[in-house]
Amino acid sequence: MTKCTDSVVLNLWHPVGAIAETVPGAVQQTVLLEERLSFSVGADGEPVVWRSRPDLRRADQIAAADRLPAKSVYGYVWTSLGSPPADLFPIPEYAEPDRRRLNAATFGVNVSAPRAIENFLDMGHFPYVHTDILGAEPHTEVKEYDVEISVDRDEILATRCRFFQPMASTASEGGADVDYVYRVPHPYCSVLYKSSPVDAARRDVIAIFLQPVDQEHVRAHMLLCVLDENSEDKVIKRFQQTIFGQDKPILENQVPKRLPLDPRAETPIRADKSAIAYRRWLSQKGVTYGVIPAAA
Amino acid sequence: MITLYDYELSGNCYKLRLLMSILGIDHKTVPVDFYPGREHKSEWFLKLNPLGQLPVIDDDGLVLRDAQAILVYLASKYDPSGTWYPRENPALLGEISQWLAFADGITGTASAARLHDALFYDFDIDAARAGAHRLFRILDEHLWFVEQEGRQWICSAPQPTIADIACFPYIMLSEEGGISRQDYPAIRRWCDRVKRIKGFIVMSGVFPAGPARAAA
């Protein structure tokens, strides 16, 4: 496979690692868009990212010209192989002081980033894949919901999503109809808002940030930003890892691995409204990496 | 009451959850943040198991490590039928031990490949996959002969034993390490039989058996 030539994707910010999992000053190796990168987070919290070279072993050896753009946002190190925008998409809830902010895990998954986003947006699989947690038979219907592509925010927004969930989170005490809002503010990132079992006026935030290793492999970083005063960190993480572990074989068995953008390539049903909007949005942006573009 | 020190995505922990479900053994769970927290290498956990490995159980003060050893203990103590680990049958106990050691080999290969791909462990992935395929080929042939002899389970007993439980999880999770089971039809049929054992439960990455095919 050739390295990425998709300028839309090259110019994006991409996550490469969770700051909670770094040791100050230690260098970690990773792969982004088929390029080997090294990164390190200083004691001051500032990340340095560079293209891996055997002679460059510490962040303080890296000349300014050799440093890639780097940012620490939402608990992760972000970088870019092109010219990224000044700011990453906003998640205002991240700043709310009473939220638990955790990296649930970073998992390697044998899937393209867009296929993983589509699965994240899909409610239809809840009763079958996340049985007795995010869904249960006979509550299998995906009720009508709204999807818009917001032009000024350049993101997809799916609202009025509702689903019956036996155990929506670690703070749940039983089954409930749960409201969902999905945002796709980045071709490889999605943010989910779901009703909080502890505060009817607020929502838990769960985000998935996909680091494209190549067109058919990702590192999936999962951010939790939830309201739960009682559960230990590891219990909250375990809940999300359980869910993701259930999705993993489904994601890895998708064929073809890259997401087809031609509207005739796969037959959607009404429940796939957000996926249809996502594919159209990727086409409009001209994304070619991790997808099978529609014939011109 | 048994306490299981547990990580949800661990196939070795799942072996114990599975046997305890089949035998109806009540227990409580202490979650261990194996990944990304590496809590199995923390000071408190190393006091329980100096090897820094999951699973561990504590049964009223008896602390045991090693999934296979714990299967032996649980079946010996809590299986009234005595079929999962038949203590009165030396030949069968020898067979079971042989396949428990084989299960450890599956952990060292198929599970290692999965840890490499999903959790970024620095293992030789080609060696891990090749080693798993070598073991799968041996087990597939064995199970083919088992079926020819009109039996269903790994050991020469009419009922499943803890050898079946010990081998099942990391075979079932092998595709997460890039190891396909396509070429092992006898293994796939045996996996479906394990999934139909009364009391069977799943873990993340393992799905229940589909409905059994109606008799023609």
**B25-71: per-residue pLDDT in tens?**
999 999 999 999 999 999 999 999 999 999 999 999 999 999 999 99
Are A17 and A122 members of one domain?
no
Are A123 and A56 members of one domain?
no
Q: Which fold has domain B90-195?
A: Glutathione S-transferase Yfyf (Class Pi); Chain A, domain 2 (1.20.1050)
Q: How far is CA B38 from the centre of its chain?
A: 22
Supply the mean pLDDT for chain B. Answer: 96
Are A28 and A126 members of one domain?
no
CA distance A102 to chain B (A): 11
Task: Name the DSSP class of A131.
Answer: B
Are A117 and A256 members of one domain?
yes
Q: How far apart are CA B194 and CA B207, in angstroms?
A: 12
- For the purposes of burial, counting CB atoms within 10 Å of the CB of A138, is it exposed (0-12), middle (13-18) or buried (19 or more)? exposed
A121-130, B102-111, B135-144: lowest mean pLDDT where? Answer: A121-130
Are A50 and A192 members of one domain?
no
Structural domain ending residue among the three candidates A22, A48, A79: A79
Are A142 and A170 members of one domain?
yes
Greatest distance between any 2 Cα atoms in chain B: 59
CA distance B125 to chain A (A): 14
Chain B residues closer than 8 Å to A128 by CB: none
Report the chain B residue with the minimal C-alpha distance to residue A103: B36
Structural domain ending residue among the three candidates A49, A79, A109: A79
The complex scores an ipTM of 0.93
CB contact under 8 A, A110 and B8: no
Structural domain ending residue among the three candidates A79, A104, A133: A79
CB contact under 8 A, B120 and A108: yes
Instruction: Specify the residue for token string 């917001």.
Output: A150
A126 domain-assigned: yes
CB B78 within 8 A of CB B59: no
Are A38 and A96 members of one domain?
no
Instruction: Please give the residue range of the domain that contains residue A17.
Output: 7-79
Q: Which fold has domain B2-78?
A: Glutaredoxin (3.40.30)
A86 domain-assigned: no
CA distance A28 to chain B (A): 12
CB contact under 8 A, A110 and B117: yes
Q: What are phi and psi of A210, to 5 degrees?
A: -100, 125
Distances in whole angstroms, Cα of residue B118 to Cα of each of A81, A133, B78, B125, B168? 24, 23, 35, 12, 19
Chain A residues closer than 8 Å to B203 by CB: 245
Position A203: which residue type?
R
Q: How far apart are CA A116 and CA A217, in angstroms?
A: 10
Are A237 and A205 members of one domain?
yes
- pLDDT tens digits for B194-207? 999 999 999 999 99
Are A164 and A267 members of one domain?
yes
**What three-state secondary structure class fits A109?**
strand
Residue B172 has pLDDT above 90, yes or no: yes
Q: How far apart are CA A177 and CA A168, in angstroms?
A: 9
> What are the sequence ranges of the domains in chain B?
2-78, 90-195
Q: How far apart are CA A6 and CA B75, in angstroms?
A: 57
Report the chain A residue with the minimal C-alpha distance to residue B210: A128
The H or E element containing residue A179 is strand A176-186
Residue A56 has pLDDT above 90, yes or no: no
A111 domain-assigned: yes
Chain A residues closer than 8 Å to B119 by CB: 107-108
Are A282 and A190 members of one domain?
yes
Scanning B7-66 for CB atoms below 8 A from A yields 7-9, 31-33, 35-37, 39
Task: Name the DSSP class of B189.
Answer: H
Cα–Cα nearest to A207, from A18, A6, A4: A18
CB contact under 8 A, B31 and A234: yes
CB contacts < 8 Å between A and B, how many? Answer: 59
Count of structural domains, chain A: 2
CA distance A188 to chain B (A): 19
pLDDT at residue number B115:
98
Q: How far apart are CA B185 and CA B176, in angstroms?
A: 19
Are A185 and A221 members of one domain?
yes
